[in-house]
Amino acid sequence: MDQQHAPSPLAVQPVGKLILKFAIPAIISNLISAMYNIVDQIFIGQSVGLLGNAATNVAFPLVTLCLSISLLLGVGGASNYSLSMGRGDEEAAARYYGAAITFLAIFGIAVGVLVLVFLEPLMLAFGATELSLPYAMTYTGITAIGMPFQIFGTAGSHLIRADGSPRYAMVSITTGAVLNIILDPIFIFPLDMGIAGAAIATVIGQISTVVLQAVYFWKLKNHPIRLSHLIPRPKLLTAIGGLGSAAFFNQVAMMAVQITMNNVLRRYGELSPYGSDIPLACVGVITKVNVVMMAFLIGIAQGCQPIVGFNYGAGQYSRVRRTYLRAITAASAIAFLFFLCFQFFPQPILAIFDPEGSNMFFRFGTRYFRIYMLAAFLNAIHPLTSNFFTSIGKAKMGMLISMTRQILFLLPLILLFPMFWGVDGVMYAGPIADFVAAVVALVLVARELRRIRSLQDLPLSPEAAG
C-alpha cells in the first residue's frame, strides 16, 4: 500500500500504547511548565524580596488570560483537526490547522498591544500598591512583549500533538522552560538586572519555543499547510472556538474562584486566630502543589485528545470507549497517590515552601490539606471527561462539565460556608464541590459511553483490537 494511504497509527496501534505515547510527553511538558514557574518565583523572591513577589502576583491574571486564549484556539484547533483527519477530510483538517495558527498570531499580538497600552490601569485594577506598582509595571511591561509567544507556544504544543508528534511538542515546551530556568539566575544575580532580568529570561524562553514550533509547522507530518490554509475565516474561528470553549471557560472560572477565595480568606482570616496572612500563604502553597498533581491528570487528558478525536471521526467507537476507560483508570490511580500524600504528609510538603513557618502556619496548612483535598482522588474525572466530550465534538457538554466544579458548586460554597464556619468553611467547600461535580460528570459520561457502545464499529484490523 502506498505510504500516503497507510492507516494512521491512531487507528491501528493498541490503545494503551498510544495513551503512553501521547500522554507522557504532555505530562512532562506540564510538569516542567509548573516547576519553572515555581523556580522563577523563588529567584525573584531571593533577589527582589516581598515587592518582587507582590509584583508577579499582580501580573498573574494576565498569565491566566494568555493560557485561556491558548486553550481556546489550541484545543479547538487540535480537536477539529483530529476529527477531520479521522473522517478522511485532509483538506478540512489543513484549513483548521492553518486558521488556528493565524488566529493565534492575531490574538497574541492584540493581547500584547492592549496590555502595553493599558499597563498602569491594569496593574492598579489587579491590586498593585504604591510600592509594588513600579515593579509590576517593569515585569509586566517586558513580559507583555512575550505574550504573543506565550499564547502561541502553549497552543502550538496541542496542534503538534494532534499531528502525531507528541515528543516534538514536549521538546519545544521543555526547551523554553529550561532556557528560562538557566537564564533567570544569570540575569538576576551576576548581571544584577533584578525583576527585569526574570522577565527578559521568560520572554527569551517563550520565543525559543515558538521558533522550534515554527520549524515544525513549516512541514507537518500528515498534511502540508499552504498559504491558502492560513486565511482566518470567521466560520473556522467559530468551529475552533466551539471545541475550545470548555478549556477556555474553565481557566476563566478558575481565575474567578481564586480571586474570590483570596478575598474570603482575607476577610474571615482576620476574625480567626490565624489572621489573614497565614490562610493566604497556605492556600498559595497548596495551589502550587495541586498544579503538580493536575499536570499529570491534564497531561493524560491532553494525550487522549488526538486518539479519541481521530477514532470518533473514523467511526471506530470501541477504541473511543477503550481510550477513555483506560485513561480514567490510570489518572484516578495517580490522583489517589496524591490524595495519600496530602493526607499523610502535609507538614513535610508545607516545609518545602516555608521551613521556618510558625506553629500556626503548619497547623492551619495541615488541616487545610487534609480537609480541602479530602476528595482529591476524584480530581481525575473532570479533566478527562471534559476533554473527552470536547474531543468527540460535543463542546457544550465539555464546557458544562468543566464549569460544574468551579462555578456551579465551589464558588457558591466558598461564599456561603464561611458565613457559618468562618475561615474553616473554605476547607469544607472543596471536597463537597469535588464530590458533587464528580458524580455529575460520571453520570453524563456513563450515558455517553452507553450511546457509543450501541453504535456499530467500522471493520477493524487485528492490530486495532489491541
pLDDT in tens, 367-392: 888 999 899 899 999 888 988 888 87
pTM for the model stands at: 0.69
pLDDT of residue 377: 92
Residue 88 φ/ψ region, left for φ over 0, alpha for ψ in the -120 to 50 degree band, beta for the rest:
left
Question: Which of these ranges, 31-45, 230-244, 390-404, has the smallest mean pLDDT?
Answer: 31-45
What are the tens digits of pLDDT across the range 134-182?
888 888 899 899 999 989 888 888 888 877 777 888 888 888 888 888 8
Element (H, E) at 23: helix 15-47
pLDDT of residue 204: 92
Closest CA to 251 of 67, 27, 437: 67
Mean pLDDT of all residues in 339-355: 83
pLDDT of residue 15: 78
pLDDT of residue 424: 86
pLDDT of residue 277: 66
- Cα distances from 211 to residues 67, 207, 216, 218, in angstroms, run 19, 6, 9, 11
Residue 461, Cβ density class (10 Å: 0-12 exposed, 13-18 middle, ≥19 buried): exposed
pLDDT of residue 177: 84
End-to-end CA distance of the chain: 22
At 269, the pLDDT band (50, 70, 90 cuts) reads confident
Question: Which of these ranges, 94-98, 179-183, 245-249, 282-286, has the smallest mean pLDDT?
Answer: 282-286
pLDDT of residue 355: 64
Mean pLDDT of all residues in 424-441: 90
Mean pLDDT of the chain, nearest integer: 81
Place of cell 483508570: 329
Is the pLDDT score of 3 beyond 50?
Answer: no
pLDDT of residue 53: 58
pLDDT of residue 460: 47
Q: Give me the helix-helix angle, 359-372 and 277-313, nearest 10°.
A: 30
Question: Which of these ranges, 56-60, 297-301, 425-429, 458-462, has the smallest mean pLDDT?
Answer: 458-462
Residues 364, 346: Cα–Cα separation, whole Å: 11
Is the pLDDT score of 434 beyond 80?
Answer: yes
pLDDT of residue 461: 47
SS3 annotation, 75-134 = HHHHHHHHHHHHCCCHHHHHHHHHHHHHHHHHHHHHHHHHHHHCHHHHHHHCCCCCCCHH
> What residues contact residue 89 under an 8 Å CB cut-off, 6+ apart?
none
pLDDT of residue 456: 56
Residue 127 φ/ψ region, left for φ over 0, alpha for ψ in the -120 to 50 degree band, beta for the rest:
left
At 364, the pLDDT band (50, 70, 90 cuts) reads confident
pLDDT of residue 462: 46
pLDDT of residue 52: 65
Residues 397, 389: Cα–Cα separation, whole Å: 6
Can you read off the three cell numbers belonging to residue 344? Answer: 499523610
What are the tens digits of pLDDT across the range 284-313?
667 778 888 888 998 888 888 788 888 887
What are the tens digits of pLDDT across the range 111-121?
999 999 999 88
DSSP 271: T
pLDDT of residue 458: 46
More confident position, 15 or 144: 144
